[in-house]
């Protein structure tokens, strides 16, 4: 979440007339994340989140995201539920941007991750995968291995004398992953961006999952590999095997992994590390000056990539 587009009071009051959620009481910027403009919205009927979808989000993907959140909510998953207007439509226009209002989830995200949090996440991730099993819409993952080459080229590293060595390292890794990337693994809806700031807790109990705007159809085990990267490394760059064990064990109690999925985890984890390294690198070099949030350090994921490269199998993850 972030804020790139500001809203005038009178525009928001007019916008809310299309909904049956009461009158505007207050609204405030949410200055986290990097993708869309988000606002905490309070009305006489309750609290909501208003999102304006910025240029990086393809408007053609929005029906998928909205329908997915509606579907997961009906399946009992705790996630934002889109609010329809008087005409039954959830997607509208505000300030020249596609916009939607969703329900507000109680909870906070933890900045200090414990093994208990990883266990809660593993359970929730498996439930998400099962809840999405009968979701009929599909959306290809446009940030998968076939797309990483263009991201690397867009970084401009190849033409930079200082970072030419980093370009060679990432290009070599991309060549390896292109050859080693697994196929035929169980697929379905994945969140694809389930970082700690997208997971809410009440105490140590997980209360909800948010920000489904990278969700897509891909290998379910890849979602787990993304979470291993995002949740199981310490601030000093070391990998916490206890966190990994707690996450995967809890996941498998709900949805057991196949033999092929377990064997693929090291390659999937390398791919997840490269994917976030490249997108963070792109955002670092192309950060809008007007954004109210600082881009995330891409080199954090270079360290994680190097860890995965040193492993010969899943034993390095405590599995």
**Domain span holding position 258:** 115-317
DSSP-assigned states of every residue in 136-185: ----B-TTSGGGHHHHHHHHTGGG-TTTHHHHHHHHHHHHHHHHH---S-
* Same domain (yes/no): 191, 292: yes
Query: Which are the contacts of 103, defined by CB distance < 8 A and separation ≥ 6?
Result: 48, 49, 80, 81, 83
Q: Enter the pTM of the model.
A: 0.92
* Whole-number Å distance between alpha carbons of 184 and 200: 32
In a domain, 3, yes or no: no
Same domain? For 20 and 166 the reply is no
Mean pLDDT by 10 residues, the chain (319 residues): 73 95 93 76 96 86 97 97 96 94 96 97 98 96 95 75 74 96 98 97 97 96 98 96 98 98 97 95 67 69 95 90
CATH number of the domain encompassing residue 119? 3.90.1200.10
């Amino acid at each position: 979440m972030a804020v790139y587009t500001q809203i005038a009071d009178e525009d928001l009051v007019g916008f809310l007339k299309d909904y049956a959620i009461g009158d505007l009481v207050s609204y405030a910027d949410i200055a986290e994340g990097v993708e869309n403009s988000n606002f905490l919205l309070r009305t006489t009927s309750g609290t909501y989140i208003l999102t304006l979808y910025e240029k990086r989000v393809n408007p053609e993907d929005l029906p998928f995201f909205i329908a997915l959140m509606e579907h997961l909510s009906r399946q009992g998953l705790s996630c934002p539920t889109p609010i329809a207007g008087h005409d039954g439509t959830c997607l509208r226009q505000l300030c020249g941007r596609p916009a939607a209002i969703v329900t507000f989830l109680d909870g906070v995200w933890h900045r200090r991750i414990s093994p208990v949090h990883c266990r809660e996440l593993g359970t929730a991730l498996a439930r998400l995968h099962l809840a999405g099993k009968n979701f009929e819409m599909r959306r290809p993952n446009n940030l998968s291995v076939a797309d990483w080459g263009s991201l690397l080229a867009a970084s401009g590293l190849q033409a930079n004398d200082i970072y030419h060595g980093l370009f060679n390292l990432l290009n070599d890794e991309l060549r390896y992953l292109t050859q080693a990337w697994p196929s035929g693994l169980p697929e379905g809806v994945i969140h694809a961006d389930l970082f700690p700031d997208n997971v809410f807790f009440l105490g140590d109990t997980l209360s909800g999952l948010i920000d489904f705007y990278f969700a897509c159809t891909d290998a379910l085990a890849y979602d787990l590999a993304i979470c291993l990267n995002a949740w199981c490394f310490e601030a000093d760059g070391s990998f916490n095997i206890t966190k990994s064990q707690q996450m995967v064990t809890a996941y498998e109690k709900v949805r057991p992994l196949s033999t092929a999925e377990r064997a693929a985890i090291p390659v999937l984890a390398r791919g997840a590390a490269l994917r976030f390294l490249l997108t963070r690198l792109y955002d670092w070099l192309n950060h809008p000056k007007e954004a109210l949030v600082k881009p995330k350090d891409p080199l954090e994921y270079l360290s994680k990539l190097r860890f995965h490269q040193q492993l010969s199998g899943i034993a390095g993850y405590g599995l």
